[in-house]
Amino acid sequence: MLRIPQLTMQATFPQLSITMERGYMNMRQPQADMSLEQPQPQVEMKTTPPRLTIDQTEARADVDLKHIFRRIEEAAQEGYAAWLSYLETTAIQGDELMRIEQGGDVLAMQAQANSERPLLDYNVGLVPRPFSVKVNIEPGRIDMNWQTSGARIHIEPRPVQIDYKPSVVHIDLARHNELRIDISV
């Protein structure tokens, strides 16, 4: 019998080993440092107080409570007026006496006029007169001056902190390829 050699081939394929380390990324944002300062405003105020003036000089004069200077002035004016009236009367009577020759009873008329008392004039009225008290009001004022300054803001940002590790893939040859050939007779 003839024996034919037998050829046996046995192949093993290569095998890869893949391991992976997962990467990660971590981000943190620290808060920024911030300071805020607001200076107080400055205020200047100037006030002018109101003023009330009451002048009752005329009302007091109406009830004969006059200042001495006013009494002196009125007496001087009355004396001057009386003197002028006397000059007028004397001039008129002198002119009448110059014409005495024209007739008439000039001396008797002048004697009667000089001996009579003057007529007194009186009237009913209010004492003191209405509106004799004078009132004056000056309103007050407030002047305000504001000086403001803006807020002072200081911000110091902090950078983002990033921790990053990339993913790593390891590829290894777990099993090599192999070819076995057996010849059997």
Does 95 reside within a domain?
Answer: yes
Q: Any idea which of 74-83, 122-131, 136-145, 151-160 has the lowest mean pLDDT?
A: 122-131
Per the structure, the count of domains in the chain is: 2
Looking at the structure, do residues 68 and 105 belong to the same domain, yes or no?
Answer: yes
Q: Per-residue pLDDT tens for 158-180?
A: 999 999 999 999 988 888 888 88
Q: With 80 as the cut, is the pLDDT of residue 157 above it?
A: yes
**CA distance linking residue 114 with residue 98, whole number of Å:** 18
Q: DSSP readout, the chain?
A: -PPPPEEEEEEE--EEEEEEEPPEEEEE-PPPEEEEE-PPPEEEEEEE--EEEEE-HHHHHHTT---HHHHHHHHHHHHHHHHHHHHHHHHHHHHHHHTGGG-S-HHHHHHHHHHSPPPP------SSPTT-SEEEEE--EEEEEEE----EEEEE--PPEEEEE--EEEEEEEE--EEEEEEE-
Closest to 151 in 3D by CA, of 60, 38, 71: 38
Residues 22 and 56 in one domain: no
Q: Is the pLDDT of residue 78 over 70?
A: yes
Q: From CA 103, how far away is CA 41, in angstroms rounded? A: 101
How do residues 29-75 score in pLDDT, each as one tens digit?
889 999 988 888 888 999 999 999 999 988 888 888 888 999 999 99
The per-residue pLDDT for 125 is 74
Q: Is residue 46 in some structural domain?
A: no
The answer to whether residues 88 and 132 belong to one domain is yes
Q: Is residue 106 part of a domain?
A: yes
Is 151 inside a domain boundary?
Answer: no
Containing structural domain, residue 168: 1-30+159-184
Residues 133 and 60 in one domain: yes
- The verdict on 65 and 13 lying in the same domain is no
The answer on 103 and 64 residing in a single domain is: yes
pLDDT at 2 over 80: no
| Residue of 141 and 3 predicted with greater confidence | 141
Percent of the residues in the chain that have a pLDDT greater than 70, as a whole number:
99
Q: Is residue 147 part of a domain?
A: no
Q: Is residue 139 pLDDT above 90, yes or no?
A: yes
pLDDT over 90 (residue 84): yes
Residue 1 is predicted with a pLDDT of: 63
172 belongs to a structural domain: yes
Same domain, 69 and 113: yes
Q: What is the mean pLDDT of the chain?
A: 88
Q: Is residue 43 part of a domain?
A: no
Please check whether residues 133 and 81 belong to one and the same domain: yes
Is residue 154 included in any domain, yes or no? no
